[in-house]
Structure 1
Amino acid sequence: MLAQYVYPSKFGLFRIIRHGRQWRVLHEEQEIGRHDTAEAALIATRMAYPQARLPGELDQWRYIPELALAHSRVSSEGTRWSLAG
C-alpha cells in the first residue's frame, strides 16, 4: 500500500490513498472514488459524507508516508509467536 491520509469518524474509517497517479478514496474497505489529486478526493468525500464531519484540510488528517507503511509490515515468520502458559 502506498502513502495515505487517514481519518477515523463516527461513520467509520476514511482513507485517501495514493495509487499510481490517482488517489483512491475508501470508506472502511469499500472504494468510493478515484481522483487526480488528494484535495479533489477530500472535497468529493466531504460532499458524499457530510454527516461524517470530515476535516476540510488534509493537514488535519493523519498522514502515513509510504516508507512508514513498508517498515510496519510483519513477515509471516514474525506472526508465529508462541503463547505463554
Structure 2
Amino acid sequence: MLAQYVHPSKTGLFRIVRHGRQWRVLCEDCEIGRHETAEAALINTRMVCPQARLPGELSEWRYIPELALAHSRVSSEGTRWRLAG
C-alpha cells in the first residue's frame, strides 16, 4: 500500500490512500471514492460523511509515508517460520 492519511472516527477508520495518480478514500474496507488530489478527497469525504466529523485540514490527519509502510511489512523469510509443537 502507498502513502496514506489516516483518521479514526466513531463511524470507522478513514483513510485517504495514494493509488497511482489518484487518491482513494476508504472507510474501513469500503471505498467511498477516487479523486485527483488528497485535498479533493478530503473535501468530498466530509460532504458525504458529515456524521464522521472529520478534520478539515490534512495536517490534522496522521500521515504515513510509503517508506514507513514498506518497513512495516513482514518479509518473505518471516512467513516461512515453523510453529513450535
Using the size of structure 2 for normalisation, the TM-score is 0.90
How many percent of aligned residue pairs carry the same amino acid?
81
Structure 2 residue ranges without an equivalent (≥5) = none
Partners of 1:51 and 1:57 lie apart in 2 by: 17
Partners of 1:53 and 1:33 lie apart in 2 by: 18
Q: How far did residue 77 of structure 1 move?
A: 3.7
Partner of 1:19: 19
Moved over 3 A (4+): 79-83
Q: Confirm or deny that 1:44 pairs with 2:76.
A: no
Amino acid aligned to 2:40: A
Q: How many residues align?
A: 83
SS for the counterpart of 1:17 is strand
Deviations 1:26-67 (A, max 9, x none): 010111100000000000000011010000000000000000
SS for the counterpart of 2:25 is strand
Partners of 1:75 and 1:61 lie apart in 2 by: 28
Using the size of structure 1 for normalisation, the TM-score is 0.90
Q: How does 1:51-62 map to 2 (within 5 A)?
A: 51-62=51-62
SS for the counterpart of 1:75 is coil
Over 3 Å counting, the alpha-carbon distance change for 1:22 and 1:81 in structure 2 is same
Q: How far did residue 74 of structure 1 move?
A: 1.1
SS for the counterpart of 2:74 is coil
